[in-house]
A and B are shown apart, each in its own frame.
Chain A
Amino acid sequence: GQNIDQPTEMTATEGAIVQINCTYQTSGFNGLFWYQQHAGEAPTFLSYNVLDGLEEKGRFSSFLSRSKGYSYLLLKELQMKDSASYLCAYTTDSWGKLQFGAGTQVVVTP
């Protein structure tokens, strides 16, 4: 997505913490989503932020600052199965079409 940026790749060790940043620019904003996608598989929903602040869900947390056009996904206690692409996406209208970033490939090493 041309108005949404996230790092291409991040590497971390099993058991560690990784933070994936996402910045976006849009004139309208109705919420930010994070999805996980393993190679060749469907994206699976991780989190949704519409208000500023931190949303925690088990090992995964997501933060949003609407004024800064910034979000991050925090993955704690990394496991090998967390190796995947993490997609940041925002929606600008009430119908929910998503504008996706290119994804961040997270590689978890032993």
Chain B
Amino acid sequence: DSGVTQTPKHLITATGQRVTLRCSPRSGDLSVYWYQQSLDQGLQFLIQYYNGEERAKGNILERFSAQQFPDLHSELNLSSLELGDSALYFCASSTGGRETQYFGPGTRLLVL
């Protein structure tokens, strides 16, 4: 158990819908990272927050957005969902910088 929690564990929805994935980092960690893992793309970095502020952006679609709240939990919002958005979404946390990232159990999203 890494200490990072993610909810929900599984999510099934339809194309065009919007969903919110939630992540709580390890106690003491200020940095949260979101990654997407699909069969054909591997693990892809989406976005990073540090102490409430966006610090780095990767291959995140405009339909996706995220935020980190004052209590340091983070939410990833996915809208206008497409079939290709079906993937495992992982959240990771660290104390910041180049420190080791610890991954949560992931949310498996299936878009039908």
Residues of A near any B CB (own CB < 8 A): 1, 30-31, 33, 35, 40-45, 48, 50, 87, 89, 91, 93-103
Shortest distance between the CB of A24 and any CB in chain B (Å)? 14
Q: Mark B80-106, 1 if CB is under 8 A from A, else 0.
A: 000000001010001011111111111
A45 contacts B43, C-beta separation under 8 Å: no
Shortest distance between the CB of B107 and any CB in chain A (Å)? 11
Q: With contacts A1-B42, A43-B43 known, is A33 near B100, CB below 8 A?
A: yes
A–B pairs, 7, beta carbons within 8 Å: A42-B105, A45-B102, A48-B100, A94-B98, A95-B97, A96-B31, A102-B42
Is the interface on chain B under 10, 10 to 19, 20 to 34, or 35 or more residues? 20 to 34
A103 contacts B42, C-beta separation under 8 Å: yes
Which residues of the other chain, B, contact A40 by a CB distance below 8 angstroms? 88, 108
A95 contacts B101, C-beta separation under 8 Å: no
Shortest distance between the CB of A102 and any CB in chain B (Å)? 5
Which residues of the other chain, A, contact B100 by a CB distance below 8 angstroms? 33, 45, 48
State in angstroms the CA–CA spacing of A40 and B9 once bound together. 11
Which listed residue, B58, B102, B103, touches A97 by the CB 8 Å rule?
Answer: B58
A44 contacts B98, C-beta separation under 8 Å: no
Which listed residue, B88, B90, B101, touches A45 by the CB 8 Å rule?
Answer: B101
State in angstroms the CA–CA spacing of A100 and B94 once bound together. 17
Shortest distance between the CB of B93 and any CB in chain A (Å)? 11
State in angstroms the CA–CA spacing of A42 and B34 once bound together. 13
Shortest distance between the CB of B38 and any CB in chain A (Å)? 12
